[in-house]
Homo-oligomer: A and B are copies of this chain.
Amino acid sequence: MFESAELGHTIDKRTYDKDVPPLRVALLDAQMELSKLAKFPVIILVGGVDGAGRGETVNLLNEWMDPRFLQTHGMGDPSDEELDRPMMWRFWRELPPKGRAGIFLGSWYTWPIINRVQGRIKTADLDQSLERAKRLEKMLTDEGALILKFWMHLSKDKQEKRLKLLEKDPKTRWRVTKRDWEHFNMYDKFFAVSESVIRHTSTAEAPWTIVEGYDANYRSLTVGKVILDAIRKRLDDADTKKTEVSAPPPLPSIDQLNILKTLDLSQKIDKKDYQAELEKYQGKLALLTRSAKFKNITVIAMFEGNDAAGKGGAIRRITGALDARYYNIIPVAAPTEEERAQPYLWRFWRHIPRRGRVTIFDRSWYGRVLVERVENFCTEADWMRAYSEINDFEAQLVRHNIVVVKFWLSISKDEQLKRFKEREAIGFKHFKITAEDWRNREKWDEYEQAVSDMVDRTSTTTAPWTLVEANDKNFARIKILKTLCEQVETMLKKKGIVIKKMRPPVKA
């Protein structure tokens, strides 16, 4: 795998001086075009062996390229805010928008590799990490991102030679740290692990480029040319967006029976019982969310449902039990300009709360497989792949001790009509009813099919859907509060939820 990167590639000064100026022109031109079209982002990961010139290459790229459209992110030690969220959050928050490039010095491979080298995780854990990384990259490329992964390689001899050279020169001595020599002593182990990582994660969408790092001219020119060619190629066929569907279609509805139709919407609760239950579960939720252990977990409650199903009222029954300082409601509306320049899930990732907090989404990332599907706001390929992207997303949340509670509030078509009319009649509710609501109602069956497919494909053991019979608002509110309490309680009882704040290594 590394054979070609140990051949001793060099580029002489004359060739370098001749090749660099046109390369720079072409890179700048490509960047200008990229920025003007703003069709896709460029994500550049730089990893590799210590002393192989990762930092120098990145500095040089900053010199060659237009810094207005390029951001470099040194993914060093994560902050407490980052440690309080799933590992990928720190990458999501730094993703370049469409039209820009982002260089990550240190990537989602850094931590898994070093942890494996140092024996903190097993091969099976490493494999799982790689699987997740691949799925992330697949999603990013499906969203249009161009991902370039560079691995700066040095043979063992060359690494030793280079570290010594750097140490000898007073001007570069500071670059060599004790950690570099520690890593050098583990070269063989590091070699074996990274070889395996590269092999497993060189996918069609995002292959690794292994670059021999010893000769600066060769290294720089190679990286520059690979970046240029990749951007150029994507710019030239930017119009040929993939639209083919790669997943099999959801179960066809041939008998009009679906999971929503099995709900007993006539269930209700009488007023006295409601008051008693409300107090009981609000009190319980209040205590649970104020317990000492709650600081180690996070709650994300998410509400979808028919229009007028009572999401707002149910949410307020939850927030009534919570400390206003520690919860947040995110009403999901049309994405902003900054959000539209990012992959679909970015606008939800940005609202993932810290530990000890509750975030309630009023509508959610399921918009893609509901309204966007039914209204054709995205292509079939987009919503078809969304199911597994969403499952991956939620799995990451749950892995980080986040309670993910998903409610679908279901009302009958008749009940909806009644409520629409009521809303039109009552003053302070009339803002809630718009022409759009009436239009959506006409597509009742299509929405029902979409909901049914959604539940089939995204109700997982770790993040199950709770279907809520909501014709009786009080019944729905109690079921929601009860479910939420149960799921929070289960998580609080889980062993080992006190996450060790593992600091990832600084380099890799």
Contacts and interface: CB of A to CB of B under 8 A. Distances in A.
Interface string A315-347: 110011001111111010100111000000000
Given A68-B362, A324-B58, A427-B21, A316 B79 contact: no
Interface stretch (A24-32, A138-146, A463-471, A485-493): A24-32
B319 A62 contact: yes
Interface in A286-329: 286-287, 290, 312, 315-316, 319-320, 323-329
Contacts of A84: 79
A160 interface: no
A41 interface: no
Given A67-B331, A79-B81, A105 B286 contact: no
A391 B384 CA distance: 53
Contacts of A323: 55, 74
A188 interface: no
A190 B29 CA distance: 63
Given A59-B320, A170-B283, 8 more contacts: A22-B427, A62-B319, A63-B316, A68-B333, A71-B329, A81-B81, A174-B286, A174-B290
A330 to B, nearest CB: 9
A137 to B, nearest CB: 22
Interface in A73-130: 73-76, 79-81, 84, 103, 105-106
Contacts of A373: none
A329 B67 contact: yes
B312 A67 contact: yes
Interface residues of A, number: 60
A416 interface: no
B329 A62 contact: yes
A497 to B, nearest CB: 20
B25 A328 contact: no
A255 to B, nearest CB: 38
A21 B428 contact: yes
15 contacts: A21-B427, A21-B428, A25-B427, A58-B324, A62-B316, A63-B320, A67-B331, A67-B362, A72-B327, A72-B329, A79-B79, A103-B324, A174-B286, A174-B290, A337-B338
A335 to B, nearest CB: 10
A6 interface: no
A114 to B, nearest CB: 15
Best-surrounded residue of A67, A72, A287, A338 (most CB of chain B within 10 A): A67
A467 to B, nearest CB: 23
Nearest to A360: B67
A62 B313 CA distance: 11
Contacts of A287: 174
Contacts of A58: 324
Contacts of A472: none
A171 interface: yes
A327 B71 CA distance: 10
A66 B315 contact: no
A473 interface: no
B319 A59 contact: yes
Nearest 8 Cβ contacts at the A-B interface: A74-B325, A25-B428, A68-B331, A337-B337, A80-B80, A25-B427, A24-B428, A58-B324
Interface in A263-295: 279, 283, 286-287, 290
